[in-house]
Amino acid sequence: MADTVGAILLTGITLYAVLGGADFGAGLWDLLAGGEQRGRPVRQLIDEAITPVWEANHVWLIFDLVVFWTAFPRAFAAVMTTVALPLWLALAGIVLRGSGFAFRDQIEQPMFKRAAGTAFALSSLVTPFFMGTVVGAVATGHIRADGARANVEAWSNPTAVLAGSLFVVACAYLAAVYLTRQAERRNDRRLRRYFALRARSAGVGAAALSVSLLAALHGSNHALYARLTGRALPLVIVAALCGLVTFTAISVAPARRLRDIAAIGVAAVIWGWGVAQYPHLLPATSVTLSNAGAPHDTLAALLVVFAAALVLVVPSGVLLFSLQERQVLQVRGTLWHPDGSEPGTSPRSVPADGPHPDTVLSSGAVARWRRRRST
């Protein structure tokens, strides 16, 4: 039972990484998009891609926290006490990212708009990094079972810092692959090339960091290293293959398939970590999934909650993503306007042969929209 709940927790972490992680990565590309003029098309693409989905993706983090503290309360308390500082910093990043992103869409004054945008972009760097160091602290066995004091060494050791950097680059990699797909859907060749190039370079960076992390684990937690190259090896190979396929094919193959392959690659890394650590929840301690677990009733109730979540959330989530994929959700056409204009107030008020609501947009957006429709 505890193993099943452990698998649910790892699934939640995987979903947060491949969905929420990409939103952070998009923030990084926003940060690196260059000056206001040059970066505008990139930022618009990023806006379109993450505005409707980031909140739903973010809920996976809440889900993971809740499963962690409900199923494994003692380990949760130890982690939250030992590495409180990086968690506070990641949290500050979450607050600034979400609010900065929401405000950026609504502010008109260029100065404040830029400030909100910067808060969004910079915190997209901060949050994955510190979350990565926390995972690094767990993986290197720095969390004591009864951890009651803060431990800076736990998350600032080379392995943890490498893990943090890997998180940042992996988020950027995922985002670049997803944004390649987004550009492909818009038939924007220039942006497709732009993000394909970035997906490749981030992929190389992630591969290099993964190898160095593995090397660092050789010294800092040899048992984990041995299992990663032992029983978790198939997953490591899957991760490497997915990365390789994405790297070679991103310029030519349909990005829609590659998006899934890239996500599977990242998922394989996370499951590799999980398999290598199993059955330990906190490596280098005696805390395992089964002995850190809550009573049987709690775990059973969590399984019911998870089943209910699958039944209710998965179809809704699929609906959201398919509406986004079919471009029914209009980020640009409704809430965000470069010229501050407001489209028609009523969905009904649009006469069938009358002016299309998109005509209230700036001429550039209309041209883009026409291009989309004609293809």
Give, as ranges, the residues between 34 and 73 that touch other proteins (CB under 8 A).
Answer: 51-53, 55-56, 58-59, 61-63, 65-67, 69-71, 73
Contacting range for other proteins; rule: CB under 8 A; set: 88-96, 134-142, 164-172, 266-274:
88-96
**Is-cis flag, bond preceding 279, omega within 30?**
yes
Percent helix / strand / coil, the chain, rounded to 5: 75, 0, 25
Closer to other proteins by Cβ: residue 215 or 301: 301
Q: Least distance (Å) from other proteins to the CB of residue 28?
A: 18
Closer to other proteins by Cβ: residue 134 or 263: 134
CA distance 67 to 70: 5
Contacts with 124 (C-beta within 8 Å, 6 or more apart), sequence order: 23, 24, 25, 26, 27, 28, 30, 31, 93, 97, 171
Q: Least distance (Å) from other proteins to the CB of residue 239?
A: 28
**Nearest Cα to Cα of residue 123 among 110, 142, 137, 104:** 104
317 binds other proteins, rule: CB under 8 A: yes
Contacts with 117 (C-beta within 8 Å, 6 or more apart), sequence order: 30, 43, 100, 104
92 binds other proteins, rule: CB under 8 A: yes
Closer to other proteins by Cβ: residue 84 or 214: 84
Q: Least distance (Å) from other proteins to the CB of residue 135?
A: 16
CA distance 112 to 17: 30
Q: Least distance (Å) from other proteins to the CB of residue 300?
A: 9
Task: Please identify which residue in 309, 325, 367, 372 interacts with other proteins, judged by CB under 8 A.
Answer: 309
Q: Least distance (Å) from other proteins to the CB of residue 92?
A: 7
- Report which residue type is found at 330: Q
Closer to other proteins by Cβ: residue 74 or 227: 74
277-306 residues in contact with other proteins (CB under 8 A) are 294-298, 301-302, 305
Q: Which 8-state DSSP code applies to residue 39?
A: H
Task: Please identify which residue in 149, 190, 374, 375 interacts with other proteins, judged by CB under 8 A.
Answer: 149
209-268 residues in contact with other proteins (CB under 8 A) are none
Closer to other proteins by Cβ: residue 65 or 214: 65
Structural contact between residues 358 and 344, judged by C-beta atoms closer than 8 angstroms: no
Task: Please identify which residue in 7, 39, 40, 103 interacts with other proteins, judged by CB under 8 A.
Answer: 103
366 binds other proteins, rule: CB under 8 A: no
Closer to other proteins by Cβ: residue 65 or 245: 65
- Report which residue type is found at 319: L
Task: Please identify which residue in 150, 208, 211, 367 interacts with other proteins, judged by CB under 8 A.
Answer: 150
166 binds other proteins, rule: CB under 8 A: no
SS3 21: helix
What is the 3-state secondary structure of 210-263? HHHHHHHHHHHCHHHHHHHCCCCHHHHHHHHHHHHHHHHHCCCCCHHHHHHHHH
Closer to other proteins by Cβ: residue 201 or 291: 291
* Cβ atoms within 10 Å of 148's Cβ, excluding its own: 9
Dihedral sign for Cα 333, 337, 339, 345, please.
Answer: positive
**Nearest Cα to Cα of residue 31 among 105, 125, 108, 106:** 125
Q: Least distance (Å) from other proteins to the CB of residue 194?
A: 25
329-358 residues in contact with other proteins (CB under 8 A) are 329-331, 333-335, 340-351, 354-355, 357-358
Q: Least distance (Å) from other proteins to the CB of residue 59?
A: 5
Structural contact between residues 67 and 15, judged by C-beta atoms closer than 8 angstroms: no
Q: Least distance (Å) from other proteins to the CB of residue 164?
A: 18
Closer to other proteins by Cβ: residue 187 or 334: 334
Closer to other proteins by Cβ: residue 32 or 308: 308
Q: Least distance (Å) from other proteins to the CB of residue 196?
A: 27
